[in-house]
Amino acid sequence: MNAVEVEELSMTYRVPVRDGGLVAAARALVRRQYRAVEAVRALSFGIPAGQVVGFLGRNGAGKTTTLKILAGILHPTSGRVRVLDQVPWRRHNQYLREIALIRGSQPIGDAPELTVLDSFHYQQVLYDISDGEFRRNLAELSELLDLDSILQRQVRALSLGERMRAGLALALVYRPKVLFLDEPTIGLDVSAAKTIRTFVAEYSARTGATVLLTSHTMADVESLCPRLILVDDGAIAFDGRRDELGALFAPTKLIRVTVIDDDPDLSPYGEVLQRDGNQWLLRVARDVVPATTARLLDRFAVADLSVEEPSLENVMDQAYRSLRQTKDLAS
């Protein structure tokens, strides 16, 4: 059984619309008009327990809406969802104890006057955690997220990075089995973001937690998610491994080659992206990579040669362009 099971999930928001001006404002008081925004359209996917999945897509693609439905905050327009075999929007206590939604934009609850430690005690009461388990979990989280120096501080006085570390620990002190992480590194400096990434990887490895993560930071996705689901306009555009995404949307690879010949010219072998002395970086269509490497090895005295996938950032850029083009052609 999958930990997360989503079938034909759709969500349409009703957004009030009115023209500008006082007359229109007065008319809207009497008869309000609405416009439908289809945020999620017939999404289907399953996630086995323990898997870490990147949930990607352009701004407005429907990621946060999906995570909110899975976390039981929103009721969808239609579709079937089971997370740990429960219907999220029924919000049973048992369910809420087994999952956590953590949003990088709002990592911590709404009691900014409490200290971090008080917030932990509040979580202990709310989630009915035994003293022994609470002490163990808090000690482990403090160590992994370096919380000792902020436990006595008021939440309102924390920096964004400290807030995110505290928010993650607060959400995980009751040991949820499924994590929905919505841009957990947004706005963080490179070291703080790395701390969060390392922590998420360790948490899921240690506890076997299932993780669905959205991020526009490709380093998060690259380091954490073997499987990627790409949504576009509320529908799934891709579901598979990172190399499969590359093969689908970025039809090229990079050949990095160092030759020891004098004054070599490698430009006929591919698009030259970089040249540094005798080291060349060539962009080559995927299907001619084997033939091109064979020709290079045959023609030059090669000191070093490697074939590289384009960066995930590059692949995503090409994927978004291609999806936009398809949409423009269809409209």
Ligand X SMILES: Nc1ncnc2c1ncn2[C@@H]1O[C@H](COP(=O)(O)OP(=O)(O)OP(=O)(O)O)[C@@H](O)[C@H]1O
Nearer to ligand X, 216 or 286 (CB): 216
- With binding defined as CB under 6 A, does residue 52 bind ligand X? no
Lateral strand order in the sheet of 279-285: 271-276, 279-285, 252-259, 302-308
- With binding defined as CB under 6 A, does residue 39 bind ligand X? yes
Both structure tokens of 62:
């429907």
- With binding defined as CB under 6 A, does residue 48 bind ligand X? no
- With binding defined as CB under 6 A, does residue 17 bind ligand X? no
198 and 168 Cβ atoms separated by less than 8 Å: no
Q: Which of 25, 26, 37, 285 binds ligand X (CB under 6 A)?
A: 37
Residue 116 makes CB contacts below 8 A (sequence gap 6+) with 147, 150, 151, 152, 153, 155, 158, 166, 170
- With binding defined as CB under 6 A, does residue 157 bind ligand X? no
Q: Which of 3, 10, 51, 62 binds ligand X (CB under 6 A)?
A: 62
Structure letter (DSSP) for residue 115:
B
Nearer to ligand X, 156 or 321 (CB): 321
φ and ψ at 306, to 5 degrees?
Answer: -140, 150
- With binding defined as CB under 6 A, does residue 10 bind ligand X? no
Nearer to ligand X, 65 or 119 (CB): 65
The rounded distance, in Å, linking the Cα atoms of 258 and 240 is: 33
237 and 231 Cβ atoms separated by less than 8 Å: yes
Nearer to ligand X, 74 or 145 (CB): 74
- With binding defined as CB under 6 A, does residue 61 bind ligand X? yes
CB of 279 to ligand X, least distance (A): 38
99 and 181 Cβ atoms separated by less than 8 Å: no
Nearer to ligand X, 73 or 302 (CB): 73
- With binding defined as CB under 6 A, does residue 41 bind ligand X? no
Segment 63-92, which members bind ligand X (CB under 6 A)? 63-65
- With binding defined as CB under 6 A, does residue 104 bind ligand X? no
**CA 323 to chain CA centroid, nearest Å:** 19
Find, among 63, 82, 47, 96, the residue nearest to 233 by Cα. 63
Segment 203-262, which members bind ligand X (CB under 6 A)? none
Nearer to ligand X, 53 or 257 (CB): 53
Q: Which of 8, 15, 156, 265 binds ligand X (CB under 6 A)?
A: 15
The rounded distance, in Å, linking the Cα atoms of 158 and 188 is: 13
- With binding defined as CB under 6 A, does residue 303 bind ligand X? no
Q: How many residues bind ligand X (CB under 6 A)?
A: 12
CB of 28 to ligand X, least distance (A): 17
Nearer to ligand X, 177 or 216 (CB): 216
5 and 46 Cβ atoms separated by less than 8 Å: yes
* Binding window for ligand X (CB under 6 A); candidates: 55-63, 146-154, 169-177, 190-198: 55-63
- With binding defined as CB under 6 A, does residue 57 bind ligand X? yes
The rounded distance, in Å, linking the Cα atoms of 163 and 159 is: 6
The rounded distance, in Å, linking the Cα atoms of 237 and 230 is: 5
Q: Which of 13, 89, 127, 238 binds ligand X (CB under 6 A)?
A: 13
Nearer to ligand X, 147 or 221 (CB): 221
Q: Is 256 helix (H, G, I), strand (E, B) or coil?
A: strand
CB of 3 to ligand X, least distance (A): 21
- In degrees to the nearest 10, what's the CA dihedral of 252, 257, 262, 263? 30
The rounded distance, in Å, linking the Cα atoms of 281 and 266 is: 9
- With binding defined as CB under 6 A, does residue 165 bind ligand X? no
Q: Contact residues for ligand X (CB under 6 A)?
A: 13, 15, 37, 39, 57, 59-65
